[in-house]
Amino acid sequence: MYTYTRRYTGPLQAVIMDLAGTCVDFGSLAPIQAFLKLFEAEGIDLSEAEAREPMGTEKREHIRRLLAMPRIGKQWSSLFGKAPDTADIDRLYGAFLPLQTAAIAERSRLIPGAIELQDWLRDEGIKLGVNTGYSREMVDVMLPELVAQGFEPESVVVATEVPQGRPAPHMSMKNAIELGVSAVQGCVKVDDTTTGIEEGLNAGMWTVAVVASGNAVGLSEEQLSALSDTDRAETLARGHSVMATSAAHYVIDSIADLPKVLAEIGCRLQAGECP
């Protein structure tokens, strides 16, 4: 039986993380590679910046938003003599699936700090869940690779299994239910896209935006490391500026920085603060 309280002052209960760009696939490159190949095969010039703009959304919706961009839509109409419609989106999504699956298989390496974070959460008695704009078929390719590296979240939710994907709160809410959470105020959503942060805010959770490994920077770990100290600092500063617009409660470089932030959120909860 639950007792209504005006203000939650309990412990931190769960951390819900995005997958690509947050805890796996540094730079969130797998989706970008797949979208660029998909549109190239159609004769459409799609830039990486355009491909990244709807990142965080369910992938069919991502395709719809790309086709809705004026520059892309104009190219499509010129090539096919009509504006893109639902049938075109369905066809492109069907062609996208094997491209994305192949890219995921190549980019399933955990981001540094993921295992240490998981161990810290277990020691603190905090549940770990993940959610993603990928479909179940895509996630089923990735999960065995993550398990082989020692990463085993207690809840995995995909966008195609809830009524609405991001920025709706449905995925995070499903994670919370599966994890047995009693108050969403005791949950933290961690994501590398503004859409994913919106999801967490809409779910009434604390939110933490990740910069270095994510969509706002868009570089592999090797590419980021190869930059000069000055260029790297400037790149990260631009990423922080982008993610600050999401209204996340915290913006950090990496999930390696997350335990310190989570400890601070725990103290704020005990003091009676809510997201």
CA atoms within 13 A on the CB side of 24: 29
Cβ-based burial of 171 (10 A; exposed 0-12, middle 13-18, buried ≥19): buried
Which residue in 59, 127, 174, 189 is the catalytic one?
59
Cβ partners under 8 Å of residue 27, min gap 6: 21, 213, 214, 217, 218, 219, 220, 221, 223, 224
Cβ partners under 8 Å of residue 22, min gap 6: 111, 190, 191, 192, 196, 210, 213, 214, 255
Q: What is the DSSP letter of 109?
A: P
User: 97 by DSSP, 3-state: which?
Assistant: helix
Q: What is the DSSP letter of 20?
A: B
Contact assessment for residue 85 and residue 13, using Cβ atoms and an 8 Å cutoff: no
Cis, peptide link before residue 153, omega less than 30° from 0 = no
Instruction: Tell me, yes or no, if 189 is annotated catalytic.
Output: no
The residue count of the chain comes to 275
Instruction: Tell me, yes or no, if 174 is annotated catalytic.
Output: no
User: Would you please indicate which residues are annotated as catalytic (active-site) residues?
Assistant: 18, 59
